[in-house]
Structure 1
Amino acid sequence: MAELVQQYLDQIRDEHAGVTDGAVASYIPELANVDPMGFGLSLSSSDGFVYESGDAATEFTIQSISKPFTYALALDQAGHDAVDAKIGVEPSGEAFNEISVDDTTKTPKNPMINAGAIAAVSLVPGATPDDRFGCIHEFYSACAGRRLDIDHAVYASEKATGSRNRAIAYMLQSFGVLGDEPDDVLDVYFRQCSIKVTSTDLARMAATLARGGINPATGRRVTDAKVVQRALSVMVTCGMYDAAGDWVSAVGLPAKSGVGGGIIAVLPGQLGIGVYSPLLDAKGNSVRGVRVCRSLSEKLGLHFLTVTRESCSAIRARYDVCDGVRVYELHGDLLFAGAEQVLRTIERDRDDYRIAILEVSRVDDINDAAREMLAGMRTVLNTAGKEGFLVDPDNKVVRPASEQDYDAVLFSTLDDAAEAARRRLDRHG
Structure 2
Amino acid sequence: MHSTILDYLDEIIAETSHVDSGSLPEGIPELAAADPDRAAVALCTVNGTVYASGDAEDRFSIQSMSKPFAYALAIEDRGFDAVLERIGVEPSGEAFDELSLEPGSGRPANPMINAGAIAAHALVRSDEAPAVDRLLALFSRLAQRPIEVDESLAASEIADGERDRDIARLLRAADLLPRDPSTVAEGYVRQCSAVVTVRDLALMASTLANGGVQPDTGERLFSRRTTKHVLSVMASCGMYDAAGDWLTSVGIPAKSGVSGGIIGVLPGQIGVAVRSPRLDPHGHSVRGIAMMEHLSDDLGLHLMEVGRPARSSLRETRRVSVEGRPATVYTLQGDLGLSGVESLVHEIVDRPPRTDTVVLDMSRVTGALPIARRTTAETAAKLVDEGREVVLVDAEETVPEVRAERGRAVERWTSERLEQSLLRDPGESTG
Q: Distance in 1 between matches of 2:52 and 2:354?
A: 28
| Residues 361/221 of structure 1: CA separation in 2 closer, same or farther (3 Å cut) | same
Task: Report the equivalent of 1:379.
Answer: 381
CA 26–3 in structure 1, closer or farther in 2 if over 3 Å, else same:
same
Residue equivalent to 2:372: 370
C-alpha deviation, 1:411, in angstroms: 2.1
Change (3 A) 1:352 1:412: closer
Deviates more, 1:85-94 or 1:390-399: 390-399
1:84-99 correspondence runs (5 A): 84-99=84-99
The separation in 2 between residues aligned to 1:185 and 1:351, in whole angstroms, is 55
Q: C-alpha separation between the residues in 1 aligned to 2:6 and 2:31?
A: 30
Matched residue type, 1:77: D
Letter of the structure 2 residue corresponding to residue 212 of structure 1? G
Partner of 1:388: 390
Instruction: Look up the SS of the partner of 2:228 in the other structure.
Output: helix
Partner residue of 1:426?
Answer: none
Matched, 1:278 2:277: yes
Identity among equivalent positions (%) equals 44
Corresponding residue of 2:427: none
Instruction: Quote the Cα distance in structure 2 between the aligned partners of 1:408 and 1:275.
Output: 37
- Whether the aligned pair in 2 keeps the contact of 1:324 and 1:352 (CA below 8 Å) is no
> Contact 1:378 / 1:408 at 8 angstroms: preserved in 2?
no
Partner of residue 297, structure 1: 296
3-state SS of 1:289 partner: helix
Q: 3-state DSSP class of the match of 1:41?
A: strand
- Give the alignment of 1:3-14 within 5 angstroms: 3-14=3-14
Q: Deviations over 1:59-82 (max 9, x none)?
A: 010110111010001011111111
Q: What displacement does 1:327 show?
A: 2.3
Q: Which residue of 1 aligns with 2:22?
A: 22
**2:429 corresponds to:** none
Count how many residue pairs are aligned between Structure 1 and Structure 2.
420
Question: Aligned partners of 2:409 and 2:225: how far apart in 1?
Answer: 45
User: Hey, what does 2:108 align to over in structure 1?
Assistant: 108
Is the partner of 1:177 in helix, strand or coil?
coil
> Residue 362 of structure 2 aligns with which residue?
360
Aligned to 1:31: 31
3-state SS in 2 of match to 1:105: coil
Amino acid at match of 2:390: G
Read off the aligned partner of 2:258 and give its amino acid letter.
V
Match of 1:409 in 2: 410
Alignment partner of 1:250 is 2:220: no
Residue aligned with 2:130, SS: helix
Cα displacement string for residues 78-119 of structure 1 (whole angstroms, at most 9, x for unaligned residues): 111111111011101111111230124320110000000000
Structure 1 pair 307/269, CA: closer, same or farther in 2 (3 Å)?
A: farther
TM-score (norm 1): 0.92
Give the alignment's TM-score, normalised by structure 2.
Answer: 0.91
Amino acid at match of 1:8: Y
Deviation at 1:5, TM superposition (A): 0.9
Deviations along 1:25-82, whole A, 9 cap, x unmatched?
1112322111111111111111111111111100010110111010001011111111
Choose the corresponding residue for 1:335, options 325, 334, 337. Answer: 337
| SS of equivalent to 1:377 | helix
Q: Which residue of 2 aligns with 1:75?
A: 75
How far apart are the structure 1 equivalents of 2:235 and 2:2?
A: 30
| Cα distance in 2, alignment partners of residues 56 and 422 from structure 1 | 48
Deviations 1:149-183 (A, max 9, x none): 21111101111111211221111111111111100
Following superposition, the deviation at residue 391 of structure 1 comes to 1.3
Which digits, 9 at most, give the CA deviation of each residue in 1:195-223, with x for residues without a partner?
Answer: 11111110110111111122222332222
Question: 1:173 aligns to what?
Answer: 172
5+ residue gaps, structure 2, are 425-431
Q: 1:124 to 1:131 in 2, by over 3 A?
A: same
Distance (Å, rounded) in 1 between the aligned partners of 2:342 and 2:335: 13
Q: Deviations over 1:397-425 (max 9, x none)?
A: 126xx8899965242413435788999xx
Distance 1:22 1:384 in 2: 44
1:209 & 1:194 partners in 2: Cα distance? 21
Displacement, 1:366? 1.2
Aligned positions of 1:171-320 closer than 5 A: 171-306=170-305, 308=307, 311=310, 313-320=312-319
With over 3 angstroms needed to count, the CA separation of the structure-2 counterparts of 1:365 and 1:102, relative to structure 1, is same
Tell me the secondary structure at the aligned position of residue 392 of structure 2.
strand
Q: What amino acid sits opposite 2:262 in the alignment?
A: I
Q: Which moved more, 1:84-93 or 1:405-414?
A: 405-414
Q: 1:203 is aligned with what amino acid?
A: A
1:427 aligned partner: none
Q: Is the 8 A contact 1:317 1:330 kept in 2?
A: yes
1:346 aligns with 2:351: no
Question: What SS does the aligned partner of 2:66 have?
Answer: helix
Task: Write the distance in 2 (CA, Å) between the matches of 1:396 and 1:386.
Answer: 21
Q: Is the 8 A contact 1:411 1:417 kept in 2?
A: no
Task: Calculate the aligned-residue CA RMSD, in Å.
Answer: 2.4
Report what 1:146 is aligned to: 145
